[in-house]
Structure 1
Amino acid sequence: MLLSVAQIRETEEFTIKTEPIAPIDLMERAASLFAKKLVEEIDLDSFCEIVVVCGPGKNGGDGLVIARYLAENQKVLVVDSCFDSKPCEEFIINYALIEGNSNVTIVKADQFIQEGNPFTPPFFPLIIDALFGIGLTRKLTGSFEKLVHYINQINGYVVAVDVPSGLLCDAHTPDDYVSVFAHQVYTFQFPKQAFLLQENSSRLLSFSVIDIGLLIPPNIFFNKKLINEEVASLLIHPRALFSHKGTFGHGLLIAGSSRMPGAALIGAVAAMRGGMGKLTVHAPAKVLDALTPYLPEAIHSMDENADWFSGITDTVAQYQSIAIGPGLGTEKVTLEAFERLLHQIKDAQTPVSLVVDADALNMLSKADHLLKWLPPYTILTPHFKEFERLVGPVENDFHRLEKLKEFAQEYQLIVVLKGYYSVIALPSGELFFNQSGNSGMATAGSGDLLTGLILSLLAQKYHPHDAALLGVYIHGRAADLAIQDRHSEESLIASDIVSYFGAAFKSLRK
């Protein structure tokens, strides 16, 4: 789950009262687990020095506890960065515990900065950033700003405690706000929403979560959640022993044009590899001719137009799901056919689930009256630019998320906003952040795979909510498995990803 800073504070207070545990002991537990993880994951002996930069608040108190644990086996330099600020009680208590420790050297931040940067190659220090935590709501200025600039100039490896100092957790961090650049963040109990947004990619490289045993208040409400292996494994349907191809549904893929025939093939292979019983591909003849040698299992529905989608003549009621968009083009004849298709789906006697992607999204942005014709729970799969064509320009990533939630609620749609952490917005106002996938997926055809996979899940009678969540996770999981096996993020292409769909499904069924 993703909680706001206020909600995290609420969980801390609830834990203190319910467990019960004193605040100073909760800090001890969290910081000791941080130190333990650091020792387990990082070779401390490879650094010329270990520097812990401690601010005046509770984050600084965490840093002092971490320094004390590391000093059991290492020499540690602690930078007292209170400046003129009054330190909190936890800082004062933990400062007293390291004073006089022969393995700990304490210097004031002013002295640390004035001495200049002694860490030039080949000297490479480990910097532990415990300056400010999640409570920061304003721009760093004065001595604190100067210190952060200095830290960022040091040739070292930076690990932040809970959050990189200067980064706002619940709001956009303007470009002129300085923050510590963290190679790694060990964050307590919950990921912070700011970590999942592209706009902050220049402020941290990676993060991992440390479970510090916080208890969740029973009445706490959260509408931002994570899709991980545990969640995805609960969504996957069992396969019935006594079944036939009709059991697993019939889907229609409307994709491809004379200019982009490959989109139909990529989407069709993904649909069949996603577990559906039957797939019909509607496309111009030349697209279908190219499809046959690679996917003889697909049923063909030939468009009357030689180059573009111009309409289907058979009834849509025979399909459990329809996907439209990949490689389609936005010709006038295609837009008119799309409008007729929406009317056909609306008039169908049985519900037909719909996935809208790529050029079909671009047609929606050109003829936005069509948005009201989409059936409830239609799944849209835009990337950032396609989404902005639908809703208008956005100011920053937090603004984009707000528009995403409002758009899904207004039109009662499910929107998969594709990115490194793809976000799925539900009509309920819930946002789900996906945690599978890698940068190798930024390749032509990857989005077509996702469209075909979601089409397949819908044909198998997955609820559209579940089809979107599971489809996004499987898509990313397959790419992760491809990288783990024999591919690299540089070499990965769409056909590599789909070849690992089976392994991704199996990993959730174990």
Structure 2
Amino acid sequence: MKILSAQDIRTIEQETILKQQLPEAALMERAGRMLYNELQRVFGECACKAEILCGFGNNGGDGLVLARLLQQAGHEVTVYLLEHPTYSQDNLINQKRLEACAVPIIKINKASTLHFTEKSIVIDALFGYGLSRLLDESWAALFGQINATSNRVFAIDIPSGLRADEPTPPDALVIRADRTYTLATVKLPLLLPMYGPLTGDFVILDIGLDADALAEIPTNRLYSTSVAIKKIVKPLTKFSHKGTFGHALIAGGSYGSIGAIVLASRAAFKTGCGLVTSYVPRCGYQIVQTALPEALVKTDPAEQLITTYSMDTAAYKALAIGMGMGTAEASQQALYQLLSDLQEKEQAPKLLLDADALNILSLHQSWLSMLPKCSILTPHPKELQRLIGSWENDFEKLEKTSEWANRYQQIVVIKGANTAIVLPNGEIHFNSTGNPGMATAGAGDVLSGVIASLLAQDYSAADAAILGVYLHGLAGDCAANNIHQKSITATDIIEHLTDAWQHLLP
């Protein structure tokens, strides 16, 4: 799914009206009906009270349509409409339709006092995605009342005051929504961590925009949906064997941190890798052999840490390096020697670097030029900051990461909610799966094993990163169907990879 600017969305809406020969306000009617259908799921069989705050533009018009449909379905509705000298044409049409249904419209301004009914749903349809400027302090009293309510607040398209295409400062006036119903396509701020407290969870509603017009709009920001992901997945074939599905080397660990390699290796198997070799310090040999009898195990000469990668890397399709490894001087030099050796090979295995391998690279920035093209780096935000420097906001974080990925021709997986996969060609793919219960020790090690497994199975580096992140998050969602999110462990994610595959490749 494309992530589009406000101007792009307006263009597609106009193209849709022309190509589908829609009458006035028909697209707004679609949007309102989709909103109504979603709220009916929230309300269930109950008759509920909705208090809808409508602006003077098309976002307000969507709210007016919703008000009419809710009232016709037997719900109690109050409409607060911002006073303004000029309303959009479609907004005016729906004001008249609402009046014809005898739904009262209460005119409000910045100084108005709002009286919300206890337990009513408050719906924000004031400004939407078209707002390009910050709201001034004259709106503080009105917005303060909305944000102070104990009622649930739902926003239409994007919370009012939040800008769609550029950063919104932390102290800006923005309505805090518990949920956002975003129309046609997801808006970028809904995917960024810094705006999570303002947007809540979000639901994407399809309002039937013209597919051809949508396809013609270029963008380098994409949201991974199951439809797109299923196109990446390779089918199983009858005469496949373990060699068909590749051989991955999962390397790292140190005294006290061998579990990271066990998790990554087990995840690689569960994702479908044919062969997995775990490479650990000598102290990890018995642990891995006992915990994972399916794996081949090789050990470093040192007892407690990695000191060398002196093996034939040509025997492997993919290498995953760094989990639990530590940053001892000997481990740093071992990584340097590995990168040097890979530079000399015509057919080097695909490389994933995680955890301490990334921390070592941040200490030796000159080594970045040694990375094989399109290696996959999987930092969490702090590890990313050590690599690329600090940022002021999430927009700048994405911009700086994209510049870095292009400069070094690497793939960067920024781990977190809606994990972003940043490709060297400028594309950024945001993930749609996963849940807060996955914020647990070892989940990153599992992700490394999943992606390494896909690399070994001959997925391209970009596809392995995009599919791997989606599959990992989907396994976490499957786990959450059976286990409370507070109780999910990394092992639970691994055990539910089979359920995730069942969704993608039944």
TM-score scaled by length of structure 2: 0.96
Amino acid at match of 1:30: A
1:70-469 matches, within 5 Å, as 70-72=70-72, 73-82=74-83, 84-99=84-99, 101-102=101-102, 104-110=103-109, 113-114=112-113, 117=115, 119=117, 123-141=118-136, 143-216=138-211, 217=213, 218-469=215-466
Q: Which whole-Å deviations, capped at 9, do the CAs of 1:226-249 have from their partners, x for residues lacking one?
A: 112222221111223223222211
Distance in 1 (CA, whole Å) between partners of 2:258 and 2:250 is 13
Q: Residue in 1 aligned with 2:10?
A: 9
Secondary structure of the equivalent of 1:202?
helix
Secondary structure of the equivalent of 2:261?
helix
Q: 1:504 aligns with which of 482, 486, 500?
A: 500
Aligned-pair identity in percent equals: 38
Q: Which whole-Å deviations, capped at 9, do the CAs of 1:380-438 have from their partners, x for residues lacking one?
A: 00010100100000110111111121111111111111011000011111010001111
Q: Residue in 1 aligned with 2:39?
A: 38
Amino acid at match of 1:425: V
Moved more, 269-278 or 433-442: 269-278
Secondary structure of the equivalent of 1:99?
helix
Deviation at 1:142, TM superposition (A): 5.0
- Runs of at least 5 residues in structure 2 that lack an aligned partner in the other structure: none
Deviation at 1:192, TM superposition (A): 0.5
TM-score scaled by length of structure 1: 0.95
Deviation at 1:17, TM superposition (A): 1.5
Residues 44 and 199 (structure 1), Cα distance of their counterparts in 2 relative to 1, 3 Å cut: farther
Distance in 2 (CA, whole Å) between partners of 1:355 and 1:436 is 21
Distance in 2 (CA, whole Å) between partners of 1:268 and 1:368 is 28
CA contact (8 A) 1:132 1:166 kept: yes
Distance in 2 (CA, whole Å) between partners of 1:491 and 1:382 is 24
Distance in 2 (CA, whole Å) between partners of 1:100 and 1:157 is 29
Deviation at 1:118, TM superposition (A): 5.5
Amino acid at match of 2:107: K
Deviation at 1:273, TM superposition (A): 1.4
RMSD: 1.7
Distance in 1 (CA, whole Å) between partners of 2:77 and 2:502 is 46
Deviation at 1:44, TM superposition (A): 7.8
Distance in 2 (CA, whole Å) between partners of 1:174 and 1:398 is 11
Distance in 1 (CA, whole Å) between partners of 2:110 and 2:126 is 16
CA contact (8 A) 1:414 1:424 kept: yes
Secondary structure of the equivalent of 1:159?
strand
Deviation at 1:111, TM superposition (A): 10
Amino acid at match of 2:319: I
CA contact (8 A) 2:263 2:446 kept: yes
CA contact (8 A) 1:303 1:310 kept: yes
CA contact (8 A) 2:110 2:141 kept: no
Distance in 2 (CA, whole Å) between partners of 1:410 and 1:245 is 37
Q: Residue in 2 aligned with 1:60?
A: 60
- Runs of at least 5 residues in structure 1 that lack an aligned partner in the other structure: none
Distance in 2 (CA, whole Å) between partners of 1:245 and 1:111 is 68
Deviation at 1:166, TM superposition (A): 0.9
